[in-house]
Copies of this chain bind each other. A is one copy, B any other.
Amino acid sequence: MVIAAWTEEEGVRFGTDMLGSAVAAGRLTLDYAYDLVDSEGLRFGDELDRIGFKGTQPVVMEAPHAYVECHIEQGPVLLRDEVAIGVVTGVQSISWQKVTLHGRAAHAGTTPTELRVDAGLAAAQIVVKVREMVDSGTYGRLRATVGHIATSPGLPSVVPDRAELTVDLRNPDDEQMAAAERDFAAFLDTLPELQPCSGLRVETKRMAKTSHVPFDQRVQDVIAKAAAELGHQPVTLMSGAGHDAQEMAAIAPTAMVFVRGQHDGISHNPREYSTPEDCTAGISVLANTLLRLTDEPTDALPGEGAPTAEDALTGEDALPGEDALPGETHDA
């Protein structure tokens, strides 16, 4: 049995989350990771060396028999359902884009409305549109967030010539995600025509894209049994956030235990809180799940359809694929 403490799961300092597990699972190379730099230009490999954490053993893992991770839910579902433990069915698909709008700067007082190409207005139209897409129900359990909006030059009396925003789409269903992305792209294509005057240019840049990662059904069943035995009525739920488990799922049968959070499940925040009782429940379910899994014969897993070690990217040549661009992502 191996206890893993993954390096740089958050990706806050070096810009790529799930970094340690992505290297261990072979999706990113060690050299790629070492060469990442923080905002002060310091190199990840050098910083590991400096603090004595740069080991000499090979870091690409042999596929384990199974992988299980325990985490606060980071959402309000278990609290609403009044249960301490959740069995996680997988990680939803994530799509991040940066959209940059190029309009035309103009004097707010002297420029008639019909002669404006207002990049800030176009940005606002996008924000309103993505919420309409969510509210329409057309895309299943789509969630959409525009976290960053900024206009330039940003002066009260100047029509913005430039606006920048990020669009974060999530969906537990890859097909519904594809439909949402397709329709959103079509909306961006029509955006210049929605302006009173020609000249709006829309530029998009993919920041991150991950497919739905389904977890192994057998490992989920083992977690559910362990939880029931300890007196918990576990519910199943999709993870809204990213976790190291999504990297490990590429090389081993994987699932997760979620622990109820208080305060609507708020996390990455001083108010993040799970009760001692719920934490105890989570660790007990994790421990009992691991005991059950270690008792299995080594060929009992993976179950049918689950990824095998051979499916995973391996070796130093594996470059980050388009499905999981490193870089600006931070979503653990």
Interface residues of A (CB under 8 A from B): 73-77, 92, 94, 96, 105-113, 115, 118, 120-121, 123-128, 131, 134-135, 143, 145-151, 153-160, 163, 166, 168, 170, 207, 239-242, 264-269, 328-331
| B96 x A265 contact (CB < 8 A) | no
* Contact partners of A107 in chain B: CB under 8 A: 74-75, 240-241, 265-268
A111-B264, A120-B147 given; 14 more Cβ-contact pairs under 8 Å: A75-B109, A77-B112, A94-B109, A96-B157, A106-B264, A107-B267, A108-B145, A108-B240, A110-B239, A121-B128, A147-B154, A150-B151, A155-B330, A156-B207
| B113 x A241 contact (CB < 8 A) | no
Cα distance, A166 to B160, chains bound together (Å): 12
A31 to chain B, nearest CB (A): 27
Please judge, given known A-B contacts A148-B155, A207-B156, whether A75 and B170 are in contact too, CB under 8 Å.
Answer: no
- A sample of 9 cross-chain residue pairs with beta-carbon separation below 8 angstroms, ordered by A number, consists of A107-B267, A111-B264, A120-B146, A145-B156, A147-B160, A148-B151, A156-B166, A156-B330, A156-B331
Pick the residue among B113, B121, B135, B147 that contacts A146 (CB under 8 A). Answer: B121
| B143 x A147 contact (CB < 8 A) | no
A147 to chain B, nearest CB (A): 5
Q: In the complex, which residue of chain B has the Cβ closest to the Cβ of A269?
A: B105
Cα distance, A118 to B135, chains bound together (Å): 14
Please judge, given known A-B contacts A149-B151, A158-B147, whether A75 and B121 are in contact too, CB under 8 Å.
Answer: no
| B154 x A111 contact (CB < 8 A) | no
| A241 x B150 contact (CB < 8 A) | no
Cα distance, A126 to B127, chains bound together (Å): 11
Cα distance, A266 to B161, chains bound together (Å): 13
Cα distance, A121 to B128, chains bound together (Å): 7
| B128 x A76 contact (CB < 8 A) | no
* Contact partners of A160 in chain B: CB under 8 A: 146-147, 149
A126 to chain B, nearest CB (A): 8
* Contact partners of A153 in chain B: CB under 8 A: 147
Q: In the complex, which residue of chain B has the Cβ closest to the Cβ of A156?
A: B166
Pick the residue among B75, B77, B125, B157 that contacts A168 (CB under 8 A). Answer: B157
Cα distance, A76 to B115, chains bound together (Å): 9
* Contact partners of A158 in chain B: CB under 8 A: 145, 147
Cα distance, A168 to B73, chains bound together (Å): 43
| A115 x B264 contact (CB < 8 A) | yes
| A149 x B147 contact (CB < 8 A) | no
Cα distance, A131 to B155, chains bound together (Å): 17
Cα distance, A151 to B269, chains bound together (Å): 19
* Contact partners of A106 in chain B: CB under 8 A: 264, 266
A149 to chain B, nearest CB (A): 5
* Contact partners of A159 in chain B: CB under 8 A: 145, 147
* Contact partners of A170 in chain B: CB under 8 A: 108-109
| A330 x B113 contact (CB < 8 A) | no
* Contact partners of A92 in chain B: CB under 8 A: 109
* Contact partners of A135 in chain B: CB under 8 A: 113
